[in-house]
Chains A and B, each alone.
Chain A
Amino acid sequence: MTNSINEIEQAQVILVSGSNTTRTHPQVARRFYRAVDRGAKLIVIDPRRTRLARHAHIHLRIRPGTDIALLNGMMRSIIDENLIDDLFIQMRTENYTTMRDMLFGIDLAQAAAITGVPEKTIRRAARIYAQAQRSVICYCLGVTQHIAGTGNVQSYANLAMLTGHVEQEFTGVDPLRGQNNVQGACDMGALPGVLPGYQSVFDDAVREKFARVWGVELPATPGLTLLDMTHEAGGGATGLPQAAPAIRALYVTGENPLLSEPSLNGVKKAFHQYDFLVVSDIFLSETARVADVVFPAASFAEKTGTITSSERRVQLMRKAIEPVGDSRPDDWIVMELARRMGHAMDYTSPAEVMEEICMVTPIYGGMYHDRLDREWGVQWPCGGRNMEGTQYLHKYSFARGRGRFEPAAHVEPAEVPDSDYPFALITGRFYFQYHTGTMTRRTPILERESGQPLLEMHPDDGRRLGLRPGSVVTVASRRGRSRFVVELTDRVAPGNLFTSFHFAEAPVNELTIDASDPVARCPEYKVCAVRLEEVEPC
């Protein structure tokens, strides 16, 4: 997030896209509600009529995967009505003329046809967003999990720059991150092309710095993405520019790819080809079951370390209880593994690991445990022990200097419904379950609340097919099939279906497609074409 979460309360316009915020980020949603109470306007972009969408002043109910068309339409309308921020564009951005020329080619009628949102509504939303002093954009996986994910994100950035809604308090572009520490994992270099703190592996000086601290030579080439690792063992997954060397061994920690990765058939094939699989997890997950070696990891309550939230806040989590049974904290597992592989990692505490992170990671330069212990975390970038954290990003100038407009054109999803597979299947999350359910599905009260693999379907579709709530249906895509329990609800539009990947007995990723964004390699979880095959009326 460029902003802090608390700033959202002060926004005058909140544009939420691809986020079921009340369900997935309730602590952010409460700020939306409070802002609306104070008179803010809420605009929601979502193919589903979520609870937030019902609460919104404008719900732009787009066809799945048409964000770019919508945003280009909105930006065209903003230019037409001369609501752009000239001064901001001139002082802080570059490549505007290319952007403007592209937008002059946009036809709003066509945008309306692609997105399914009336032209008038697009104009109204654009006007409300552009006219306010403090407009904030919050987006989530509904934006990124598309083959055009990068273009989607760039388009939101374009919209914010066009109207000068960034670089200040209470206004910016805020991706809402998922797990408590997914931000921290990315910050620490759990991405193929960067070392901790987003320092590029292509940069000789960066590699040399890390090599001196770690005492090893570092490869100058990026690693593989998860998608490339888990599909056909690196042997040329769809869209991979060049065949990577075949993977022979995989070490999975806190991840359950045999349920969470798209197009599971391909994943299973890849897993068959590994010579050796190690899984580290707190429970025996679907992936751990097929591992050669399982490391019993300690849960969050049994270890000390930091987590970094969406608003870049690094917070200390303290061990509450000793690890149960034979389980061990992650740092112990990694250090012990390294030692037995002949590379001593000798840290006496997580605080000592953090000291090294502070030394080599400029944005984490001041994140010492003793300091975090005294404060409610610190927001990066924070360059040193005596420096303040950063409440919002890009003050006075963007990190890269000038903000660059990156025009994007609409890209149809990899697979759209047709006569063979007439439904568009959207995947997401349910409130009471968490991801592959490794933890939550072992919790009885959560199971009672949400223990069934429900498939949301519009009542009109249900009526047409003779389905009732509770009917069991087999859903098939070109890649596989899975069985779900029907829920009839107008949260989904006619022709759309929605379900989640929480349920091992109904793995929706048998159906999903492994087509991905060419830059981020993020799979298009958010839409694939399916049909109903077998129906068992209840």
Chain B
Amino acid sequence: MLENFVLEKDHLLPLLRKLGRQYRLVAPVRNRHGDTLFTEIHDLDRVEIDLEHQPQSSLKPFFFPQVEVLSMYGLDHDTSSGATWYSFYPQLPENRPTVYFGVRSCDMMAVMYTDMIFLQSSEYDVYYARHRENAIFITIGCNQPFSNCFCNATRSGPFLEHGFDIQLTDIGDRFFVETGRARGVQLRRQWAYFFRDATEDDRRAQFQAALEARGLFNRLVHVDLVTRILARQEEPEAIFAELSARCQDCGGCAYICPTCTCFTIHDQALDEDRGERLRTWDACTFSGFTRMAGGHNPVDPDRQRVRKRFLHKLLHDVEHHGRTSCMGCGRCVDMCFGGVDILRFIEMVSENETEHEETP
């Protein structure tokens, strides 16, 4: 059973200060240009931790960086025989115990999804694993969902039932604290004097906040209906074509998406004899993602560019993992300037269905 505590808001910063000595601290920070981004904090007194706005970035870049050196390579040669060959020297990222503070439910769920992609025994990714080890997550429930949020429809928020180490709920002048996984329990015990046991009133306040939050979503999004429609294996080809024609081919949706994990690998020469082997984020909407060596592309970019993206999130992952890999964070809605984000797709498919039902 989850244990419940209370942390006074006044004591949050002192707690983070303690944690910051022992761990690297990452939290949503509002910079002077008005952007809120997950940022590594070096000096708590010089940054503004922002729990009011949705962080524009997810945690993905911390575990799966946009560009990462996989190995160095260099030309080696044997002076006696004159033979030359390339040797590769893997570069494992450093492994720093980190507390991720202020993580929203959708982003926590996304980390659990990417764990599944990168850490399944058959495809264990040592680079991801190094970043991911020794990570502690202090999440915060969303009392007030943001304008494009629909995590209620994707069942990934606004509050978590599992997956977190510690989950906070804002109940006025204090946070309601739930400890989840072992590291959270241990962390709470280590700094026990910051927390007091929750009373029945606190529990009621938390319950009330969580209940109210569910009623505060701006958008009514029929994710379940659309996954059912897609599961019938009748592809909405006309919708794919319409959205593909408008896709501006920027890859922004995949880059901002907390669950998009596709990457490509290439070598970057540093000089004539040496270089780095890098992996970089990739996106299935790019033509080069599927184009073959002879120039043929099995995906028609004009009509099918966005097909893989939406089917992967809303059909294939449901088949493979039992849930959508869209976590309802709504970031792609802000990012997409072609107006072909996943919300638009879900709306079009569900409207299409309703129209069909209405016509006899």
Q: Is A118 an interface residue (CB 8 A)?
A: no
Shortest C-beta distance, A51 to chain B (Å), equals 7
Shortest C-beta distance, B252 to chain A (Å), equals 11
Shortest C-beta distance, B254 to chain A (Å), equals 12
> Given contacts A22-B248, A444-B268, A470-B295, is CB(A30)–CB(B287) below 8 Å?
no
Q: Is A463 an interface residue (CB 8 A)?
A: no
> Given contacts A30-B338, A33-B339, is CB(A444)–CB(B250) below 8 Å?
no
B294 touches A470 (CB 8 A): yes
B250 touches A26 (CB 8 A): yes
For window 145-201 of B, CB contacts with A under 8 Å fall at none
Chain A 49-66: CB-based contact to B (< 8 A → 1; otherwise 0): 001001100000000000
Q: Measured between alpha carbons, how far is A30 from B286 in the docked complex, in Å?
A: 19
What residue in chain A is nearest B283 (Cβ atoms)?
A445
Which of B's residues lie within 8 Å of A, judged by CB?
33, 245-246, 248-250, 264, 266, 268, 278, 280, 282, 286-288, 294-295, 302, 337-339
Q: Measured between alpha carbons, how far is A448 from B267 in the docked complex, in Å?
A: 12
What residue in chain B is nearest A452 (Cβ atoms)?
B295
Q: Which residues of A contact B278 (CB under 8 A)?
A: 444
Number of A-B contacts (CB under 8 A): 43
A29 touches B248 (CB 8 A): yes
For window 425-480 of A, CB contacts with B under 8 Å fall at 431, 444-445, 448-449, 469-470
Which of A's residues lie within 8 Å of B, judged by CB?
22, 26-27, 29-30, 33-34, 51, 54-55, 318, 431, 444-445, 448-449, 469-470, 538
A55 touches B245 (CB 8 A): yes
Can you offer 15 A-B residue contacts whose CB atoms are under 8 A? A26-B248, A26-B337, A27-B337, A30-B248, A30-B338, A33-B338, A33-B339, A51-B302, A431-B249, A445-B286, A449-B286, A449-B287, A449-B288, A470-B295, A538-B294
A448 touches B288 (CB 8 A): yes
Q: Measured between alpha carbons, how far is A320 from B246 in the docked complex, in Å?
A: 32
Q: Which residues of B contact A444 (CB under 8 A)?
A: 264, 266, 268, 278, 280
Q: Measured between alpha carbons, how far is A34 from B337 in the docked complex, in Å?
A: 10
Q: Which residues of B contact A33 (CB under 8 A)?
A: 246, 338-339
> Given contacts A26-B250, A469-B295, is CB(A445)–CB(B280) below 8 Å?
yes
Q: Measured between alpha carbons, how far is A377 from B33 in the docked complex, in Å?
A: 13
What residue in chain A is nearest B251 (Cβ atoms)?
A445
Q: Which residues of A contact B246 (CB under 8 A)?
A: 33
Shortest C-beta distance, A265 to chain B (Å), equals 31
Q: Which residues of A contact B337 (CB under 8 A)?
A: 26-27, 30
Q: Which residues of B contact A30 (CB under 8 A)?
A: 248, 337-339
B248 touches A445 (CB 8 A): no
Q: Which residues of B contact A431 (CB under 8 A)?
A: 249
Q: What 5 A-B pairs come out closest when comparing CB atoms?
A: A448-B288, A444-B266, A26-B248, A449-B288, A30-B337
Q: Measured between alpha carbons, how far is A54 from B33 in the docked complex, in Å?
A: 39
> Given contacts A29-B248, A30-B248, A33-B246, is CB(A445)–CB(B339) below 8 Å?
no
New A-B pairs, 7, CB < 8 Å, besides A26-B337, A54-B245, A470-B295: A26-B338, A51-B245, A444-B264, A444-B278, A445-B266, A449-B288, A470-B294
Shortest C-beta distance, A269 to chain B (Å), equals 33
A34 touches B339 (CB 8 A): yes
Shortest C-beta distance, A178 to chain B (Å), equals 17
Q: Measured between alpha carbons, how far is A538 from B296 in the docked complex, in Å?
A: 13
Q: Which residues of A contact B245 (CB under 8 A)?
A: 51, 54-55
Q: Measured between alpha carbons, how far is A160 from B33 in the docked complex, in Å?
A: 39
